[in-house]
Amino acid sequence: DFYRWRDRARSMGIKVPIVAGIMPIGNVAQTKRFVGMCGAKIPHSLLLKLESLEHDPEFADKTRELLRAEGLEGHATVHDAPLKPLQLPNWSADWYDSSVLPAGLRVDLLVVDGPPWFVSALPRYPAVPALRERLNPGAVVLLDDAARPEEQECVRRWRDEWPALQVLRVPTCEK
């Protein structure tokens, strides 16, 4: 569960505050499944703060249906976030329309599981620069498929741009 994971991170030398609060980039149901297959659990109380960006309206609707079926529709919000052009200093392509997120939303745990690889080169890179202002001090970023070369390049860029970023490698966990 989250607390066991937090304690494990502490034992590995991570000293920044780790506070519960989740915002997946991808989809809530898939994140829940991914976390479960890794042997972790999302505490029910954390689901009160779960927000998700989804660019595919059909997939967003299916995710909402799954949330309703699990009785979680009041605990997680799937935001329709179409992909739109985003220009960053060293990256330019389509990425989620993050303007759909609630004003003032603060993030403690950012799970990056999208957009899909075929959208652009390094499609997950913008997650940190685009949402950096929403990240609370000590926020944790989990990058799905982090062993893939493109994701490794995302991590390298994040570390170059934010030298204080701590990177913790965790065992591979496939969906």
The pLDDT of residue 17? 64
Q: Mean pLDDT, to the nearest integer, of 24-38?
A: 62
Confirm if 50 and 21 have CB atoms less than 8 A apart: no
Q: CA–CA separation, 129 vs 162, rounded Å?
A: 10
**Among residues 70, 16, 14, which one has the least CA distance to residue 47?**
70
- 3-class SS at 6? helix
- pTM value is 0.70
Distance CA 71, CA 18 (A): 27
Contact 32, 42 (CB under 8 A): yes
- Name 143's Cβ contacts closer than 8 Å, sequence gap at least 6: 112, 124, 127, 151, 154, 155
Q: Is the pLDDT of residue 38 over 70?
A: no
Model confidence pLDDT, tens digit, residues 116-159: 889 999 999 999 999 999 988 888 888 888 888 999 999 999 99
pLDDT of residue 125: 95
Measured between alpha carbons, how far is 50 from 58 in angstroms, rounded to an integer?
Answer: 20
Confidence of residue 27 (pLDDT cuts 50, 70, 90): low
CA–CA dist 131, 149 (Å, integer): 22
Query: The tokens of 39 are what?
Result: 């042997």
Weakest mean pLDDT among 37-41, 80-84, 116-120: 37-41
Position 5 scores a pLDDT of 74
Q: What is the mean pLDDT of the chain?
A: 81
Q: What pLDDT was estimated at residue 153?
A: 95
- Tally of CB atoms within 10 A around 63: 22
pLDDT value at 168 more than 90: no
Q: What is the mean pLDDT of residues 43-62?
A: 78
pLDDT value for 84: 96
